[in-house]
Copies of this chain bind each other. A is one copy, B any other.
Amino acid sequence: MTIDTPRAGQPAATAAEAVQASVRQHISEGRLLPGQRLVDQALAEEFGVSRNTVREAMRLLAADGLVASVRNAGYSVRTLTTGDVHDIYTARRLLETGAILKSASAPDALLADVDQAASASEQHVLSGDWNRAATASLDFHRAVVRMAGSTRVDAFFHNLVAQLRLAFAVMPDESAFQIQWVGRDRQIADLILAGRRDEATALMNDYLNDSETQIIDGVRAAERARH
């Protein structure tokens, strides 16, 4: 692992935040796989910071649920159980369908974001880049949740999605898994924009149920393979 150049958006005010952001990004991009151990001494040397600084970053990541910690034994990239996946999808159903129902009172700009995110996702599929398509699809869902109008809910959902990526990483064929959703994103977006909210929520529920089923199968297979 190497130190990332600070992202343009957030200049990473402190060293601990830079470490946190970098490790989080590595996890999101699948460069750090679930179960991977994170030894603070080693991280400190790689990032060129002190152990205390790494520890602060690890604590924050652990609070976010991305890193598991066992006292006096070590940190590691979290491995999600099937129970975790179900919990995350239960939360997604609540937030995403709820946000659709509240879309009646959402400002036009947020509706436009939803439309745009669905289109961006389609573009990446056409150009065959499933990895970007997957990211764009998640951005679409974040745009949906943003319609609810709460920055705190946005942040929570953002973290939920980051955790979900831990499960994506263990899917046997992630490209085939990811590509199938894009068309459904478009359908949901159209129903939202048309104001047909009940149909949109129904479709969203189907989507989430199907996605959950597949991921739980994948996680279960990975669990068995580990033993």
Within 8 A of B (CB), among A11-25: 13-14, 16
How long is the Cα–Cα vector from A11 to B94 in the complex, in angstroms? Answer: 32
A97 at interface by CB-CB < 8 Å: yes
Counting contact residues on chain A (CB < 8 A from B), the size range is 20 to 34
Residues of B within 8 A of A60 (CB): 59-60, 63
How long is the Cα–Cα vector from A88 to B99 in the complex, in angstroms? Answer: 15
Number of copies of chain A assembled together: 2
10 shortest interchain CB distances as A-B pairs: A90-B150, A98-B98, A91-B150, A94-B98, A91-B153, A156-B156, A94-B148, A91-B152, A90-B149, A87-B150
- Asked if A90 contacts B16 (CB within 8 A), the reply is no
- B-facing mask of A144-172, CB < 8 A → 1, else 0? 00001111110010001000000000000
How long is the Cα–Cα vector from A87 to B160 in the complex, in angstroms? Answer: 19
- Asked if A152 contacts B56 (CB within 8 A), the reply is no
Question: Interface on chain A toward B: helix, strand, loop, or mixed SS?
Answer: helix
Within 8 A of B (CB), among A42-57: 52, 55-56
CB within 8 Å for A153 and B94 given contacts A60-B60, A60-B63: yes
**Interface residue from B52, B90, B99, B151 paired with A148 (Cβ < 8 Å):** B90
